[in-house]
Amino acid sequence: MLITAGNKKFKIMFYFLTFILLSTVNSLENYKISSNKSIFHLNKIEIIGTNKIKIDSLQSELDNELLGQNLYSLSSKSIANILNENKLIKKFNINKQYPDKIIIKLKEVELVAILIKDKKKYFLADNNNLISYNENLVNSNLPNIYGKGAEHHFNNFKKILEENDFDIDSISSYYFFKINRWDLTINDRRTIKLPEKNLQQAIITINKLLKNKKFDKYSVIDLRINDKIITQ
């Protein structure tokens, strides 16, 4: 193909115009991002769903870390990192509301018992979190739990009791043993010794016995041996 002076001028003009076009698009995109960053400053964080959590403390922590940042580029992960440090928070939802606000909806844990560990008290939550004891956190009486490692087994055990219609509210104390069995103190006066195996059947049996007035006089009902009831 013969290259003429006219063809050269055309190619030069084509490349020049292409360069100008690409530069303009790139500049516009950079301007758009820059404009977003300058506009979407986070000015307000609204927290919904707090009851046990000290709202002022959490609000202050979030405000100090996040206010003033660009809402457009702020990642949910950076917010989640702060929320996950609070053991009273079970779940959360983060909603950005442009141009300058975030709404955080929280679901708190349920405190199910008081764990006595190394002569100290802790709240045990329904997700197995251990929380520093504070008597102002709950209004109702919670049962005490004793025994090494009890916090890792309690919620599953409680679920089995509930599934078999045991009166959870009558239990004042739980004692966990390493062989994976439990003793229960009922109404602060009667001890129920449950077996390591065949737990469900033992719970069915104890439900029947507790309804039988003949067993009211006994302070201990021992079901550790299969098909045998020992009373004291």
Instruction: Print pLDDT tens along the chain (232 aa).
Output: 444 555 666 666 665 566 565 554 454 455 444 444 558 999 999 999 998 899 999 999 999 999 999 999 999 999 999 999 999 999 999 999 999 999 999 999 999 999 999 989 999 999 999 999 988 888 678 999 999 999 999 999 999 999 999 999 999 999 999 999 999 999 878 999 999 999 999 999 999 999 999 998 999 999 999 889 999 9
Please state at what angle helix 55-66 crosses helix 76-83, rounded to 10 degrees.
Answer: 150
DSSP secondary-structure letter at 226?
T
Pseudo-torsion of CA 223, 226, 227, 232, nearest 10°? -30
Where does CATH 3.40.50.11690 sit in the chain? 111-231
Class of the CATH-defined domain 44-108? alpha beta
Where does CATH 3.10.20.310 sit in the chain? 44-108
- Long-range residue pairs from 59-65, CB within 8 A, at least 24 positions apart, any chain: 62/104
Fold of 111-231: Rossmann fold (3.40.50)
b/e 45-59 (16+ beta carbons within 10 angstroms → b): bebeebebbeeeebb
